[in-house]
Amino acid sequence: MTPGRSYRSPIFVAGNREVLVLQGTDVLRLPLDGGEGKKLFAIQGIWKLVAASSKDPDSVLILLREAEASRPTVALVRLNTGAVVIVPYDPTSPQDLQMLEDLQGWSRTYGDRRIYVGRENKETRSGTLEWNDVFLQVEHQPAMDVSRCDGAECGQPSLSPDGQWLVFIKSKAEY
């Protein structure tokens, strides 16, 4: 969609045909048709866009990292203002720590659909080439490799609210 850019952490915006991405500390809105993106605002310490709210499309769940060794902070950002509100959690609670671990990962379940990143490999003349691909599993069907990255690193998948579109980050192939 947008080759040569250093985007990360794409998510769909509910109710329209746009994707939010991070570029450094900037939050950008990109149209699905591949047009130019628009910077919305910058958030110091932003690490990951997790998901847009299905009930309030102006609210996006994010993870912040204030220091490399610290746990991420869970927050909500308002797209119309850039205002960030910290979501409190109990760091001694096993349930809250599991929730935080789930938010940090790239495996997601959307109703009967699950997306995740899986390791692939193939033999080449110079040895074994390994990379990540994005997989989609619908109900109990076998998972499908939907990225087919074949040597490029793919990851950070997100599924649209209607389950019809999938976005992910793809790097250049190593060979």
User: Is 135 in the same domain as 168?
Assistant: yes
Q: Using CA atoms, how far apart are residues 163 and 132, in angstroms rounded to an integer?
A: 22
Among 100, 120, 147, residue at a domain's last position? 100
Nearest to 106 by CA among 171, 53, 154: 154
User: Is 94 in the same domain as 140?
Assistant: no
User: Is 1 in the same domain as 57?
Assistant: yes
What is the maximal distance between C-alpha atoms in the chain? 53
User: Is 80 in the same domain as 152?
Assistant: no
Among 100, 124, 146, residue at a domain's last position? 100
Which pLDDT tens digit goes with each residue over 1-45? 455 568 999 999 877 788 999 999 999 999 988 778 899 999 999
Which pLDDT tens digit goes with each residue over 130-142? 999 999 999 999 9
Given a cut of 80, whether residue 67 has pLDDT beyond it is no
Which pLDDT tens digit goes with each residue over 123-174? 888 888 899 999 999 999 999 999 988 888 999 999 888 888 899 999 876 5
Q: What is the domain extent for residue 163? A: 106-175
Q: Using CA atoms, how far apart are residues 22 and 49, in angstroms rounded to an integer?
A: 8
Q: Exposed/middle/buried for 134, CB within 10 Å: 0-12, 13-18, 19+? A: buried
User: Is 15 in the same domain as 55?
Assistant: yes
Among 79, 100, 121, residue at a domain's last position? 100
Q: What is the pTM of this model?
A: 0.86
Write the CATH number for 11: 2.120.10.30
